[in-house]
Amino acid sequence: MSAIVYREPYKLPAGILAVAVHGAFFALLYFGFAWQTQPSGTMSVELWQSLPDTVDAPPVQPKIEEVAPLPQPEKIVEPEVAQPQQEKVVEPEIVMPDKKTKPEKKKPVPVPEKKIKTKSAEQERAEKAEKIAEQAARERAEQAARARAEQAAAIGRVVDEYTGKINSKIRRNIVMPPSVADDAHAEFSVTLLPGGAVLSARLTKSSGNAAYDNAVERAILKSQPLPLPADVAMFNRFRELKLVFRPVE
């Protein structure tokens, strides 16, 4: 049998690396021992019998440089404005009452006792009768006032009725002249006699048309006797009549 020899390729580098490591280790041991065996440095000491006198040197003062002052701005003088004088308000003095002085107590004024008057039966009857009489008088006065008002209203209705009849009778007898304005009007004051006769017919306000005024006057005289109420006491209401006539009613 033949033995086959294989070549180991990593054997040589491994040996070199081992030699290098051992050499570094021995070098480290040598230098470390030599560093520990170096002689230490010498020290000299000087002895003194007494301490020397020390002289304190004055402190050095720093130099202060003078700084020039900055220029100040000019002051602006403002003109004085006259302020209005305020009126002094004088407050009224309030006088506080002295606490030491006590107010005088007012003595109560005696009130006179009221006497209760008792009315007798006769006085009560008299007062009741007086009240009944006053109430009756008031009722009679009210009734009289209502009667007078009703009578005045009735008389007014009669006067209006017969005044309208008189105007209608006179208007029927007016002969209308030509060219009379529609807004013309004539006023007459007519005086009557008992029975309706015309005593006078006087023109108080002209219509502005003489022909129309004369026609109205002739119609008043032509219409007599004018109608009057049968009650003779009513004649005083028709003694003086104020009549107004217009072309167009």
> How far is the C-alpha of 166 from the C-alpha of 173, rounded, in Å?
11
Report whether 242 contacts 187 (CB < 8 A): yes
Residue 211, pLDDT score? 92
Instruction: Report the distance separating Cα 85 and Cα 95, nearest Å.
Output: 30
Q: Tell me, what's the pLDDT at 3?
A: 47
Answer whether 0.75 is exceeded by the pTM: no
Dihedral of alpha carbons 231, 237, 242, 244, sign: negative
Per-residue pLDDT tens listing for the chain (249 residues)? 444 544 555 567 777 888 888 888 887 777 765 655 555 555 555 665 555 555 455 555 655 555 555 656 555 555 555 555 555 555 555 555 555 555 566 666 666 555 555 668 888 888 889 999 999 999 999 999 999 998 888 888 888 899 999 999 999 998 988 888 888 889 999 999 988 899 999 999 998 899 999 999 999 999 989 999 888 888 888 899 999 998 887
How far is Cα of residue 178 from the mean position of the Cα atoms in its chain? 70
- The predicted structure's pLDDT at residue 6: 47
- The tokens for 159 are 């006067």
Query: In the CATH hierarchy, which top-level class contains the domain 150-245?
Result: alpha beta
Ordered by start, the domain boundaries in the chain are 150-245
